[in-house]
Chain A
Amino acid sequence: MIRIDAVTKRYPDGTVAVDGLSLEIPDRAITVLVGPSGCGKTTTLRMINRMVEPSEGSILLDGQDIRQQPVNTLRRSMGYVIQNAGLFQHRTILDNIATVPRLLGWSKQKARARAAELMERVGLDTSLAKRYPYQLSGGQQQRVGVARALAADPPVLLMDEPFSAVDPVVRKGLQDELLRIQDELGKTIVFVTHDIDEAVKLGTMVAVLRTGGRLAQFAPPAELLSVPADPFVEDFLGADRGIRRLSFFPSTELELHTAPVVAIDAGTEKLASGGEAAPCLLVTDTDGKPLGWGAPDDLAAGAIDRDRLLPFGRPFVPGKDSLRTALDGAVLSPTGWAVAVDEEGRAVGVVSQQMIGEAIRAAHAEGRPDAKAAR
């Protein structure tokens, strides 16, 4: 565990970048430092690998003051990823990734073999191994940055706005990849960002810093969204924190209606009876995959016309997706009903906005959101 203990950083010009900060960073989890630009996130991160020395206070790694080991030994035990990757432009991708193993004295061959292994782990095609950084896209460079940080298998990973400079689609891919890698490797990650959505998505714990380098709140993201400590945090979370908080409630409890789901080859009788529960019927193909919504009268008249069905919006997977995804599906659906599907995409039922609303109220009444539903 990394313990930041009453740390203050005053730069020579008098700027107080971090002010009396204390944090306990849990092992094998992602701790996010989030806050507006200039609030001391980078300074805090850099104090952990001693690129910046605190003016006051101390930082402990597994109970031992980080000043007790040689600075380069400390740094080689902590991967570091930054915005724009900071790759060595004069080295190939493979040699970039092999940097720290080489510094640790591994043979060139062993270091390169390890580097190739990491390329696969971060989703890079090994055919890129002999390329140079300028030949890669921003997103690929960032993956190389992550692979390079992981190369010597350090227990700790420090990440400073690693995904800020790439476009939103690529960023989402990188975030998902990081979560996947973290599931496999279980590193102690300290992740800096100014993007609260990124913080909520990635963080097991989120530390919100305010300008002047003071801690505003340190909590799991779901708690941050439900009980912000003060107006600053509330403001920083943005206007739709109620909706975003739904990400943390599982959709397992939703009661699904199966009657309005009919296969395209169902008999007219079935079509007529399905219409009682819902204003529309969800028509599926013979495999059970949703095709679209149809009015019961039209359907009963025996005129199932695939082209005249209304689009069914974005379906959700009960148990896997959160209430937020379910609500989103209902809001997007022209009928106001969300479609639930199984992992194979077969319709398992439908649920209305109203029913989702009831589930939300029930979940709130029960209190604690489920952190696992976040993603």
Chain B
Amino acid sequence: MSGFFDIPSDLQHSYLGLIGLHLREALLPVLAGLLVSLPLAQLCVRFRWLYAPVLGLTIVLYAIPSLAFFVVLIDYTGQTETTVMIPLAVYSLVVLVPAIVDGVRSVPPETLAAATAMGFGPVRRYLQVQLPIAVPAIIAGLRVATVSSISLVSVGMLIGNQGALGNLLNDANIYHRPELAVTSVLTIAALAILADVALILVRLLLTPWMPRKGAVR
């Protein structure tokens, strides 16, 4: 049994250490992606014509293989976590930008009219009305971005030791220890599920105002 968690020393991490590294490499890019997407999405809402080109651009970026990103980035950021995380952050935009745009646009026009009529300025209206109402859509986007990011971290093994739990797949190969591959895949899947559940809980906490199934009127 211990073979599953007996991590080869070349990875320089314990099992738990790998989990920590994996989560960091997966979640920081999503956070960065969110911070970029929020203003970008707001620009797209405000200037409608901007949405199509921005969306097109995120799709093109998403289509670039991570290896190509690594080749370019390695000259600047070296064989580091950062080199892995930059493409992941870029990939998250393809989900987050449309999720936020749709969320903000889903605010009913009469709600916006009421806010304006009550004397909300544009900034206050965005922060206090549009953003909170967009929370369910934003979290739906975050769930997809997070799960895919957790699975994508593994490609970090292409530039050496930066694939976190993904590196176990490589080691399983070179050391002929298939149980490491099992550990890798199952742990990554478990992390994805846990992250997803956590996001669902966050949504429930943030949106007590949403109709719940079976709620009484």
A230 to nearest B CB, angstroms?
33
Q: Which of A73, A92, A148 contacts B119 (CB 8 A)?
A: A73
B205 to nearest A CB, angstroms?
13
Complex Cα spacing A145 to B215, Å: 23
B110–A75 contact, CB under 8 A?
no
Nearest-CB residue, chain A, relative to B212: A134
A90–B121 contact, CB under 8 A?
no
Number of interface residues of B (CB under 8 A): 24
A100 contacts chain B at the CB level, 8 A cutoff? yes
B127 contacts chain A at the CB level, 8 A cutoff? no
A103–B119 contact, CB under 8 A?
yes
A100–B215 contact, CB under 8 A?
no
Q: Which of A51, A84, A88, A92 contacts B117 (CB 8 A)?
A: A51
Complex Cα spacing A181 to B210, Å: 32
B133 contacts chain A at the CB level, 8 A cutoff? yes
B209 to nearest A CB, angstroms?
4
Nearest-CB residue, chain B, relative to A80: B117
Complex Cα spacing A92 to B208, Å: 10
Residues of A within 8 A of B68 (CB): none
A90–B113 contact, CB under 8 A?
no
A49 contacts chain B at the CB level, 8 A cutoff? yes
9 contacts between A and B (CB under 8 A): A49-B117, A84-B110, A85-B114, A86-B113, A87-B111, A90-B133, A90-B135, A134-B211, A158-B117
Residues of B within 8 A of A91 (CB): 209
0/1 string, B104-123, CB within 8 A of A gives 1: 00001011011111111100
A86–B119 contact, CB under 8 A?
no
Q: Which of B111, B117, B118, B119 contacts A89 (CB 8 A)?
A: B111
B207 contacts chain A at the CB level, 8 A cutoff? yes
Chain A interface mostly helix, strand, loop or mixed? mixed
Residues of A within 8 A of B135 (CB): 90
B217–A80 contact, CB under 8 A?
no
Residues of B within 8 A of A135 (CB): 215-217
Size category of the A interface is 20 to 34
Residues of B within 8 A of A49 (CB): 117
B110–A86 contact, CB under 8 A?
yes
Residues of B within 8 A of A51 (CB): 113, 116-117
0/1 string, A50-73, CB within 8 A of B gives 1: 010000000000000000000111
A90–B209 contact, CB under 8 A?
yes
Give the B-binding residues of A (Cβ under 8 A). 49, 51, 71-76, 78, 80, 82-92, 99-100, 103, 132-135, 137, 145, 148, 158
Complex Cα spacing A75 to B111, Å: 15
Residues of B within 8 A of A103 (CB): 118-120
**Which 3 pairs, one residue from A and one from B, show the smallest C-beta to C-beta distance?**
A86-B114, A80-B117, A86-B110
A90–B117 contact, CB under 8 A?
no
Interface residues of B in 120-146 (CB under 8 A from A): 120-121, 129, 132-133, 135
Interface residues of B in 1-50 (CB under 8 A from A): none
Residues of B within 8 A of A134 (CB): 209-211
Complex Cα spacing A35 to B129, Å: 33
A220 to nearest B CB, angstroms?
28
Residues of A within 8 A of B113 (CB): 51, 82, 86
B114 to nearest A CB, angstroms?
3
Residues of A within 8 A of B133 (CB): 88-90
A279 to nearest B CB, angstroms?
53
B110–A82 contact, CB under 8 A?
yes
Q: A82-B113, A88-B111 are in contact. Are A132 and B209 (CB under 8 A)?
A: yes
